[in-house]
Amino acid sequence: MLYEALLRALLRRVIVAGRLHVILPDGRDFVIEGAPGPAAGVRILDRRSLRHLVRRPGLGFGEAWMDGGIEPAGCTLYELLDLLVMNLAAGGRLPFDRLVARAALWMRRLQQHNSASNARRKIAHHYDLSGRLYSLFLDRDRQYSCAYFQSPTDTIEQAQAQKKRHIAAKLCLDRPELSVLDIGSGWGGLAITLARDHGARVTGVTLSAEQHREATAAAAAAGLSDRVRFLLTDYRAVTERFDRVVSVGMFEHVGVGYYPAFFETIGRILRPDGVGLLHAIGRSDGPGSTNPWIRKYIFPGGYSPALSEVLAVVERSGLCATDIEILRLHYAETLRAWRARFIRNRDTIAAIYDERFCRMWEFYLIGSELAFRRQGHMVWQMQFAHRQDAVPLTRDYITDNERAVAGINLADGPTIEGARNEVQRRDKRSAAG
């Protein structure tokens, strides 16, 4: 009876809109209702899960779902989580919320102690899973970061190709043979694209042995081993200098205490006339901390920063931000597409791992999507350089570069400058006609 009463009190603080139907382990039920809104239900299947939900709600809900201790009642898991996340975003509060938030801010430097040795271990936790897993829900190129949707009808394949074009355009790859460092190079798709479509010479660095092995094989299969290499090393160990530096979806693993080292490294290895591009998840509501369930099960040591935490470090590094773009709902749509593919291939994934793993990843994909739809998460792209004149004066060049690459297969021979000229000639002919 005590835990039932405590759960009721907890949910009364959380549910400010909508209706939540709760079914207890003994079959009794109750309803918590706020202002008009959506409805969902949850069935708690055992007393252990009930206790865990009350004692540590931020961690306990996800663990109870993973262990089969709760299930949606009369709704889907997405609808249940959406109701809860919507209410937390609308002002609903967990007990001791402010105190917990302050403690989490104080603890986060310890939780994000991402020295070179710690970083390798934490990266292995997530990225050294079976390569087949990722092939079952990502696009063919295995881009494991926010896609770029230019139309609501874009497939994930199209949106990821557009993401790579968008990033390449901001790197100003205006001549062949430019050297590029890709920090956190994943399965190699971006590096291979920059070499194949733009004539760049690319070095990718990663701490994931699985990704290093598969990226190296992918470059060889593409016939680009002479233009693309992947190193199994920490970004801080790089000493070579580069014309361009890019990092996509890796900065979230750096840790707040290591931001100065990250930008000092970039400042040291980026040539004086060079250009860099950083693509990362952020938060629009100011500094915070990583959700305890995500930190424990998905991304140990991970954190998505507010721009206010990053810009101050960039300013002190001697680099200057030359362009910043906020991608708002693009990651929500990316995660929606990933989740649909995950569900479609769920039986195969369960055979590789097990049912608990599948439940964990379903929770992760849904929760992450809702963080972008409801809780102010977004993706930011920051372009930076040593010199103010390293990039063109206006942003028109970004669109011009994207259209050039989209309209011409650069692998067939023409330079990117030739592609731009051809697009301009087509535009003139179209206007004249």
pTM listed for this prediction: 0.88
pLDDT tens readout for residues 13-54: 999 999 999 999 999 999 999 999 999 999 999 999 999 999
A 10 A CB-CB count for 21 gives: 17
- For the record, the structure tokens of 384 come out as 């930076």
Name the burial class of residue 226, with classes exposed (0-12), middle (13-18) and buried (19+) by CB atoms within 10 angstroms of its CB.
exposed
Q: What is the 3-state secondary structure (H, E, C) of 383-410?
A: EEECCHHHCCCCCHHHHHHHHHHHHCCH
Q: What is the pLDDT of residue 123?
A: 73
Q: What is the pLDDT of residue 228?
A: 98
Q: What is the pLDDT of residue 115?
A: 66
- Return the closest-CA partner of residue 22 out of 61, 59, 56, 55: 61
What is the C-alpha separation between 304 and 281, in angstroms, rounded?
A: 5
CA dihedral over 248, 250, 252, 254, signed as positive or negative: negative
Helix (H) or strand (E) holding 282: strand 270-283
Instruction: Please check whether residue 257 is in contact with residue 112, taking contact to mean a CB–CB distance below 8 angstroms.
Output: yes
Residue type, 268: R
A 10 A CB-CB count for 344 gives: 11
pLDDT digit string (tens) for the chain, length 433 residues: 789 999 999 999 999 999 999 999 999 999 999 999 999 999 999 999 999 999 988 899 999 999 999 999 999 999 999 999 999 988 776 665 665 556 555 566 666 666 666 666 667 777 778 779 999 999 999 999 999 999 989 999 999 999 999 999 999 999 999 999 999 999 999 999 999 999 999 999 999 999 999 999 999 999 999 999 999 999 999 999 999 999 999 999 998 889 999 999 999 999 999 999 999 999 998 888 888 899 899 988 889 999 999 999 999 999 999 999 999 999 999 999 999 999 999 999 999 999 999 999 999 999 999 999 999 899 999 999 999 999 999 999 999 999 988 875 433 433 334 443 443 444 444 444 4
Q: What is the pLDDT of residue 407?
A: 76
Q: What is the pLDDT of residue 121?
A: 66
Domains of the chain: 2-95 (3.30.1050), 111-390 (3.40.50.150), 396-432 (no CATH)
Q: What is the pLDDT of residue 356?
A: 96
C-alpha distances in Å from residue 351, one per residue of 69, 133, 207, 344, 358 = 22, 10, 27, 14, 10
- Return the closest-CA partner of residue 170 out of 51, 307, 276, 284: 276
Distance of CA 304 to the CA centre of its chain: 9
Name the burial class of residue 158, with classes exposed (0-12), middle (13-18) and buried (19+) by CB atoms within 10 angstroms of its CB.
middle
